[in-house]
């Protein structure tokens, strides 16, 4: 697989390389990769996450299975009273507005069915491939919420099934990680560099559009 020369390769860490067989594209988000994999024409492409990249162009790539991009997971914080849960929900919403998440996510506040003493939950649902990135965002921002916390793909399914959603909001990713529309992603296939990260901070860069 031959990769294109990048102006600032170190700023592409956390994005993806897609190998189309006869060419490769660098700079996809996980959501954009999912668009390709869900299409008939590109469902069998090979995908690699850029774990590390050096200024000299050296990249550490790790293959990611197709199924990973088609899953959603979540983090959940449980409390025993609604007022605490509302406060933690509002705090997370404000934090994400100030320091955007690395991906789009759905923040919700719910009441769990049953007689558990921890009957209220603040949940964050997001694409499974961003699990590592979201966990790092939580640690970097010293997020502490709930008396008990857990997460995972299976747990998201259970919480969504057994909760009465009281409030929810869609959180947007940072500018450089915002996914393009399906039309834009498919139209840009063949472009070796999907995002041109040239500014002083990669988080401020804009995706390329066809």
Same domain, 75 and 160: yes
Q: Which of 53-62, 72-81, 125-134, 137-146 has the lowest mean pLDDT?
A: 53-62
Same domain, 65 and 150: no
SS3 20: coil
Residue 100: burial class (beta carbons within 10 Å; 0-12, 13-18, 19+): buried
Same domain, 169 and 76: yes
The residues near 90 (Cβ < 8 Å, ≥ 6 apart) are: none
Q: Are residues 53 and 12 in contact, defined by beta-carbon separation less than 8 angstroms?
A: yes
CA–CA gap between residue 32 and residue 27 (Å, rounded) = 10
Average of pLDDT values for 143-156? 94
Q: What is the pLDDT of residue 199?
A: 52
Q: What is the pLDDT of residue 87?
A: 96
Closest by alpha carbon to 121, among 79, 178, 164, 67? 79
85-123: pLDDT as tens digits:
999 999 999 999 999 998 999 999 999 987 778 999 999
For the chain, the domain total comes to: 2
Average of pLDDT values for 27-54? 92
The dihedral region occupied by 130, where left means phi > 0, alpha psi between -120 and 50, and beta the remainder, is: alpha
Q: What is the pLDDT of residue 207?
A: 43
| Domain of residue 90, residue span | 71-173
Q: What is the pLDDT of residue 56?
A: 81
Same domain, 93 and 128: yes
122-136: pLDDT as tens digits:
999 999 999 989 999
Q: Tell whether the model's pLDDT for residue 176 goes beyond 80.
A: no
Confidence of residue 10 (pLDDT cuts 50, 70, 90): confident
Same domain, 40 and 84: no
Average of pLDDT values for 15-33? 93
Percent of the chain clearing pLDDT 70 (strictly above): 93
Q: What is the pLDDT of residue 198?
A: 60
Q: What is the pLDDT of residue 185?
A: 95
The residues near 7 (Cβ < 8 Å, ≥ 6 apart) are: 196, 197, 198
SS3 179: coil
Same domain, 88 and 63: no
Same domain, 42 and 108: no
């Amino acid at each position: 697989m031959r990769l294109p020369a990048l102006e600032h390769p170190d700023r592409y860490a956390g994005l993806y390389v897609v190998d189309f067989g006869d060419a490769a594209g660098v700079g996809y988000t996980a959501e954009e990769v999912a668009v390709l994999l869900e299409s008939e024409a590109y469902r069998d492409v090979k995908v690699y996450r850029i774990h590390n990249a050096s200024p000299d162009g050296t990249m550490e790539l790790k293959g990611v299975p197709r199924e990973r991009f088609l899953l959603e997971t979540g983090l959940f914080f449980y409390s025993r009273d609604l007022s605490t849960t509302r406060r933690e929900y509002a705090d997370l919403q404000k934090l994400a507005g100030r320091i955007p998440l690395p991906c789009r996510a759905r923040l919700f506040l719910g009441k769990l069915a049953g007689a558990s003493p921890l009957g209220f939950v603040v949940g964050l649902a997001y694409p499974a491939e961003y699990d590592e990135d979201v966990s790092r965002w939580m640690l970097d921002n010293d997020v502490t919420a709930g008396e008990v916390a857990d997460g995972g793909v299976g747990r998201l399914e259970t919480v969504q099934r057994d909760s009465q959603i009281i409030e929810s909001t869609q959180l947007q990713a940072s500018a450089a990680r915002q996914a393009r529309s399906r039309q834009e992603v498919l139209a840009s296939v063949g472009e070796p560099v999907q995002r041109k990260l040239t500014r002083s901070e990669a988080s401020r860069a804009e995706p390329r559009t066809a």
